Amino acid sequence: MSTEKQQEVNKAFDAWLTGELTDEQRKELLNSLESAEGEARVQEEMMRDYEGSVTAAEANVKTQIDAWLLNNMQAQPKVVRLRWWKYVAAAVVVLALSGMGYLFWEQKSGQTQLARQRYKNDLMPGGDKAILTLPDGSTLVLDGAHTGLIAMGNGGTVHNEQGVLSFNGNGTAVYQDIHTPVAGKIALKLSDGTRVWLDANSGIHFPTAFTGKTREVEVMGQAYFEVAESRGKPFLVHVKGETIRVLGTRFNVNSYAGEGKVKTTLIQGSVKVSGSGKDLVLKPGEEANGMALNTTPDINETVGWKEGEFRFNGANIETIMSQVARWYGAEIRYKDDISEEFVARIQRNVPVSELLLLLEATNQVHFEIEGKVITVSK
């Protein structure tokens, strides 16, 4: 595809975003992605592209989009050549699984301008914000402006080292708390070297030093753990009446109110989840939904927040908007029922308008922003 032709395609996509693309122009856009004769040639192009840098998640989305394209061309169509995928392999992808629309969105300044034109109001993304409650009951508001030594007391010291709160105990086990507000997140390192990431509207209760036979913390909301190994001294996470027991591992726990049972997703190592008089031992790649075992969770989607991305793979609009509410500090209202499920991937450091415009381009959902209220409709 020539540079000039690529520019024409990009311009057409921009027109699609703003609702200025007619059905005939949309058809021309699909045809402009070059054609090849026969299914064999299509398969050849698919294999050639898959050998590049396309991730498994992107390949899965691509397969769904390819199916939509092939099934929605008119009688005796030209087969859409799939070589063009390499031009958007690094782009953000959104797809309405109802088969009614799709979009490739490359994050660049042009899309920011389109989003500003589409919405009168906007909400900025969250960032590093938390409240630290020290053993003496005093509190500190933490943000990027606090660096170096930020607290010192009878339990030890607290440092901010390159965006990670580091707790160094003096051997005295006194408890303290960290809570992130809506639109906040924080990373911390406990006195034993365990690292914890807290998502928005989450918290952890932990000691300044682990002096007993176990290392125990309590969490609320969503947290990702990389537990430091300590032979003979298990790490226990208490959450909503359940206990997660580990020795050294990586896992995600989601206990947000209103989102069902506690979900413990194991990335590496081994954990035992206990609750309601039952035990459930997880292997890497498995998830405990309450005390029910899920052997095929979407790990990539689960840890997206920790990697700084929104990742949705067949998510309904309520799931998407609950994350939007927490990260942007928004109130969500619904005017219509939206039954479609969406596949989308976009950085969390963009204004909310860019995410909404991305979803809106599927023609399956519509948004309005008024102050901090986002209204969802068809």
pLDDT, tens digit, for every residue of 127-172? 999 999 988 888 988 886 667 777 776 666 788 877 788 887 766 7
In this prediction, residue 116 carries a pLDDT of 60
**Helices of type H across 79-118:** 109-118
Q: Report DSSP letters for 44-66, one per residue.
A: HHHHHHHTTT--HHHHHHHHHHH
Q: Quick one: fold of 127-301?
A: Jelly Rolls (2.60.120)
Domain ranges of the chain: 127-301
Please compute the mean of the pLDDT values over residues 55-82 and round it to a whole number: 40
DSSP strands (E only) in 247-330: 250-255, 263-268, 271-275, 278-282, 287-289, 292-294, 309-316
pLDDT in the model for residue 276: 87
Lookup: tokens for 40: 């064999």
What are the tens digits of pLDDT across the range 171-221?
A: 678 899 999 999 999 999 999 999 999 999 999 999 989 988 999 999 999
Better-predicted residue by pLDDT, 85 or 318: 318
Half-sphere exposure of 178 (CA within 13 A, CB side): 29
CB 371 within 8 A of CB 148: no
Give me the amino acid identity at 255: S
Mean pLDDT of 95-122: 53
CA 58 to CA 348: how far, in whole Å? 18
Amino acid residing at 158: V
Q: For the chain, count helices (H), then strands (E).
A: 8, 28
* 0.85 exceeded by pTM: no
What pLDDT does 61 receive? 39
